[in-house]
Amino acid sequence: MIYPIPDHLKPYFVPVGEENSELRVNGALRCGCGCALFVPYVNEAGTIAAAKCRDCGTKILLLHAGRHGWDGFVAKADYLYDLPTKMHPVDACPCCEKRTPLAVKMTITSYGKEDFIRDSELTDESGKKLREDDWVNAFSSFRMDVACPECGQTSESVVDIETA
Ligand SMILES: [Zn+2]
Ligand SMILES: [Zn+2]
């Protein structure tokens, strides 16, 4: 089974649970250094998300709606060119409000590989050729939840965006 994990997340995305398929994958973020706690960053519009590793400081881009997902990667939707890029740290738990690094969970949905090949005809809106394997980059939604190591609560949908 192949999951809709976009290329830019493949080194960091660890699938979690039994419900994953070509159409939907749940996972957790893990840095190359092995650490699973981060300071997430989100822009005000909820269209860009990143995370900075607590241990080694590596910054990982999680989502840029202007580049990733069907609208950004294939359709090159005009409104996405002008994303506000000022990023705000999520440096406290939304539940207990303690200042702490957080675990990052993601859910990505897709219409699947066949659908991508048929609808894109393997060319993006600007005329650039796409590979069949690019279907993972044309996902249809992205959700980010954060889990707090202090109170154990998960705050859902810190980012929740339709990308198709
Ligand atoms: Zn790290
Ligand atoms: Zn908490």
As given in the structure block, the two tokens for residue 100 are 């702490």
Distance between CA atoms of 117 and 53, rounded to whole angstroms?
35
Report CA(145)–ligand 2 centroid distance (Å).
13
Task: Tell whether 1 is covered by a domain.
Answer: no
Of all ligands present, the nearest one to the C-alpha of 52 is: 1
**139 with 13: CB under 8 angstroms?**
no
SS3 category, 150: coil
Range of the domain at 88: 7-162
Per-residue pLDDT, 121:
98
pLDDT digit string, tens, across residues 40-63 = 999 999 999 999 999 999 999 999
Task: Tell whether 43 is covered by a domain.
Answer: yes
Task: Tell whether 2 is covered by a domain.
Answer: no
Per-residue pLDDT, 93:
98
Task: Tell whether 50 is covered by a domain.
Answer: yes
As given in the structure block, the two tokens for residue 73 are 């990667």
Q: Residues lining ligand 1 (ion), CB within 5 A?
A: 31, 33, 35, 53, 55-56, 58
In this predicted structure, the answer to whether residue 83 has a pLDDT above a threshold of 90 is no
User: How many independent structural domains does the chain possess?
Assistant: 1
Report CA(82)–ligand 2 centroid distance (Å).
34
Of all ligands present, the nearest one to the C-alpha of 12 is: 1
pLDDT digit string, tens, across residues 100-110 = 999 999 999 99
Task: Tell whether 48 is covered by a domain.
Answer: yes
Per-residue pLDDT, 81:
67
CB-based burial, 59-96: b 16+ in 10 Å, e otherwise:
ebebbbbbbbbbbbbbbebeebeebeeeeeebeebeee
How high does pLDDT run on average in the chain? 96
In this predicted structure, the answer to whether residue 82 has a pLDDT above a threshold of 80 is no
Residues whose CB falls within 8 Å of the CB of residue 96, separated by 6 or more in sequence, listed in order: 148, 150, 151, 153
Per-residue pLDDT, 44:
92
As given in the structure block, the two tokens for residue 52 are 């900075």
